Structure 1
Amino acid sequence: MPESQNIEYKESWRDEYIKWICGFANAQGGKIFVGVDDKGHVIGLQNAKKLMEDIPNKVRDALGLLVDVNLLSVDSKEYIEISISPSTYPVNYKGEYHYRTGSTKQLLQGASLTQFLLNKTGTK
């Protein structure tokens, strides 16, 4: 399955991917699969169990969100699925608002940020 509006693949975890979680929360929600290449092939993770503990805490501390993190396995290769629900309020990461559109993450600025904030807060 290719990357899409609601699916993102990452070969390994980096804390900067919290931006992608922020983007999904500000849009329609989605899933990030860690330990999977861009084509959707599972390559596995060496530290999957540790990430199972670390990722939810890092996301909560950075964004104030709770995400579901599941450990999955294919052909004895472990990978992680992070499920992000859409947020009813604007979510920022280090003061920046990210948004998932198509298969990309966008940094909202200027008029697009203003419109996003007005839509999320219900003051259209």
Structure 2
Amino acid sequence: MKVKRTTSKIGTIFIHALVGTGIFYFLVHPFTMVLYWFEFSNTTISFSLFREVLQERFLESFTLDMRGMGGLLALLGVLLGTISGLFWISLKKKNELIGTQQRLLQQDIAALINAGENERVEFKSSIRYDYFRKTTNRELELAIAKTIVGFMNAEGGKLIIGVDDDGSVLGLEKDFKTLKHKNRDGYQREVYRIISTQLGHEACFSNHISFYVVNEKEICVIDIEPSKDPVYVNDGADTTFYVRTGNATYPLTVKETVDYLKTQKT
């Protein structure tokens, strides 16, 4: 297996070096001679003259008298082609590594879903589409904000969107249809809008959004960091402190919030 990979790398470098040699010897070399001719001849350039000079210099560039210049450019082509081959191998290796990591992450996410909700994992069916009413429901955004705040005020966690309470993968297709931009970018912007509007712009930096495919359906995973400072949900006139306890998120009264924050500092 190792010998096969080494042979493949050598083959890739050889092909890139060969292509580089061909480009510099058969293209760069004659065009360089044409440019030099016009540079030192002080002749006004015209299309007919350029075509004539190109033909003459193209043929002349492959004569024995020009083997020195041709050899140097061919050598430069080999060098740049080799560098290109090494870069291609490095890029291919990096892409393979990223692909492997993504597959492992998908397996981890699937395992989290199978394990069910707990104090570090919460499922939400959607951010806007109401599966009961079969229509858009902006009130669901508040539930998303409460869950995120609860995690931030506790030990952090993962909010997995596109999965119902029983762990069934629903996907994001219904949610996508409620958005102006019906794709991952539009979805990510919508989630950050919810966070920024109801928690504050600073809270966006503590939430990291990723997308995965589980059971051939897209889901959204928000990795939520714990906050050093208390975070509140601003729902119009009300500002409420939420905290994650067990597999649920609870609002605290002012007194409960003060007591909780005291225990966190000790």
TM-score by length of 1: 0.88
Task: For residue 118 of structure 1, report the CA deviation from its aligned partner.
Answer: 2.7
1:20-31 alignment, distance < 5 Å: 20-31=147-158
| Residue number in structure 2 paired with 1:19 | 146
Task: For residue 89 of structure 1, report the CA deviation from its aligned partner.
Answer: 0.5
Task: For residue 113 of structure 1, report the CA deviation from its aligned partner.
Answer: 1.3
- 1:43 and 1:15 mapped to 2: Cα distance? 18
User: Which amino acid letter does the alignment assign opposite residue 51 of structure 1?
Assistant: Y
| Higher Cα radius of gyration | 2
| Residue number in structure 2 paired with 1:117 | 261
Task: For residue 9 of structure 1, report the CA deviation from its aligned partner.
Answer: 0.5
Q: Does structure 2 retain, via aligned residues, the 8 Å contact 1:11–1:37?
A: yes
Unaligned runs of 5+ in 2: 1-114, 128-139, 177-182
Does residue 1:7 correspond to 2:7, yes or no? no
SS in 1 for 2:232: coil
| Residue number in structure 2 paired with 1:70 | 210
Q: Deviations over 1:75-121 (max 9, x none)?
A: 3211100111000010011111000000111101143211123345x
User: Which amino acid letter does the alignment assign opposite residue 6 of structure 1?
Assistant: R
Q: Which has the higher contact order (CA 8 A, sep 6+)?
A: 1
Moved more, 49-58 or 1-10: 49-58
| Residue number in structure 1 paired with 2:170 | 43
SS in 1 for 2:194: helix
Does residue 1:79 correspond to 2:215, yes or no? no
Of residues 188, 212, 224, the one that matches 1:52 is 188
> Larger % of strand: which?
1
User: Which amino acid letter does the alignment assign opposite residue 52 of structure 1?
Assistant: Q
How large is the Cα RMSD of the aligned pairs?
1.7
TM-score by length of 2: 0.43
Q: Does structure 2 retain, via aligned residues, the 8 Å contact 1:56–1:68?
A: no
Unaligned runs of 5+ in 1: none
Moved more, 95-104 or 48-57: 48-57
- 2:215 and 2:260 mapped to 1: Cα distance? 42
Q: Does structure 2 retain, via aligned residues, the 8 Å contact 1:52–1:71?
A: no
User: Which amino acid letter does the alignment assign opposite residue 97 of structure 1?
Assistant: F
User: Which amino acid letter does the alignment assign opposite residue 106 of structure 1?
Assistant: Y
Task: For residue 45 of structure 1, report the CA deviation from its aligned partner.
Answer: 1.0
Moved more, 10-19 or 43-52: 43-52
| Identical pairs, percent | 30
> Larger % of helix: which?
2
User: Which amino acid letter does the alignment assign opposite residue 244 of structure 2?
Assistant: R
